[in-house]
Structure 1
Amino acid sequence: MATQNAESDIGGDLPPAVVEDLLSDDTRRRALAILEARDEPVVVEDLAAAVVAAQEGDPVSTVPASEREAMAEELFTDHLPKLMATDVVDYDSMLGAVELRTDDSARQG
């Protein structure tokens, strides 16, 4: 399951309590699993649509714009700051995209 892989990916240098906190939220777990599956930067609005679709068990194409926007706001205010502060994800403000931080990106940045 991608969530289990996401858990092992973020465990690196973080204390177990921090990893547990990061993975305690369903939305954050889903977002991490989606980022891991994509293995490339994802525009936050697209990530938001994918998270909503996963939560509801519906195709991404059926997610209403209002739900996509609400989830993007939640990601920006609640989840991405925590994931960026712990160096789990990288955010590219020029592209408005986020991706899982890898050992390679840690060495480059």
Structure 2
Amino acid sequence: MGETSSDLGRETVLDLLSASRRLAAVVAVEEADEPVSSGELATMTVAAEHGRSPGRLGGRSASAVKSDLESDHLPQLVAHDVLRDAEGGYEAGSNLDSLLSVVDVTMDGRGGTPPLRTNERQPGDTGSPAVGGSGRDTDI
């Protein structure tokens, strides 16, 4: 079973936030009303990486991103109970809100930016906690 929020320490949080694809998946699941498939998460992630809405990809393939999510990012999020593998996709785990609260506090401390939302700000945008490098230099 995954870690509880009290077990989700600083190093784990920093590691989970070090990849914009993980952050994009967490934000997408948090905003969804039902489980989100890895294919849908890949489409949203590709859109975010290219600065477009998911409906305006113009033929870009999300298959490589889907493979990356399924082999690396989603298992890490599930292992720490940030996401849960549910029928038809992924849903919020018990640590999702804890992880996003760290993102919100970090962004708030950098100038009062509102909480990250997929329809407003994308991972990789200026001011995003997952911009560049490993993210380990982020003050949390």
Closer, same or farther: CA 85–44 of 1 in aligned 2, 3 Å: same
The structure showing larger relative contact order (alpha-carbon pairs under 8 Å, at least 6 residues apart) is: 2
- Unpaired runs of at least 5, structure 1: 1-10, 104-109
Closer, same or farther: CA 66–57 of 1 in aligned 2, 3 Å: closer
Structure 2 Cα separation of the partners of residues 57 and 66 of structure 1: 13
Shift of 1:79: 0.3
- 1:18-48 deviations in Å (ceiling 9; x for gaps): 0111011111111111111224311110111
Q: Letter of the aligned partner of 2:16 in structure 1?
A: L
Task: Tell me what 1:57 maps to.
Answer: 51
Task: Tell me what 2:34 maps to.
Answer: 40
- 1:98 counterpart (63, 67, 90): 90
Task: Tell me which moved more, 31-40 or 14-23.
Answer: 31-40
Using the size of structure 1 for normalisation, the TM-score is: 0.72
- Unpaired runs of at least 5, structure 2: 96-140
Contact 2:82–2:93 (CA under 8 A) maintained in structure 1: yes
Using the size of structure 2 for normalisation, the TM-score is: 0.58
Q: What are the equivalent positions in structure 2 for 1:2-81 lying under 5 Å apart?
A: 12-13=5-6, 14-63=8-57, 67-81=61-75
Structure 1 Cα separation of the partners of residues 44 and 22 of structure 2: 12
Task: Tell me what 1:3 maps to.
Answer: none
Identity of aligned residues (%): 33
Question: Which one has the largest radius of gyration?
Answer: 2
Structure 2 Cα separation of the partners of residues 23 and 36 of structure 1: 15
Considering only aligned residues, what root-mean-square deviation do their CA atoms show, in Å?
2.1
Task: Tell me what 1:7 maps to.
Answer: none
Task: Tell me what 2:82 maps to.
Answer: 88
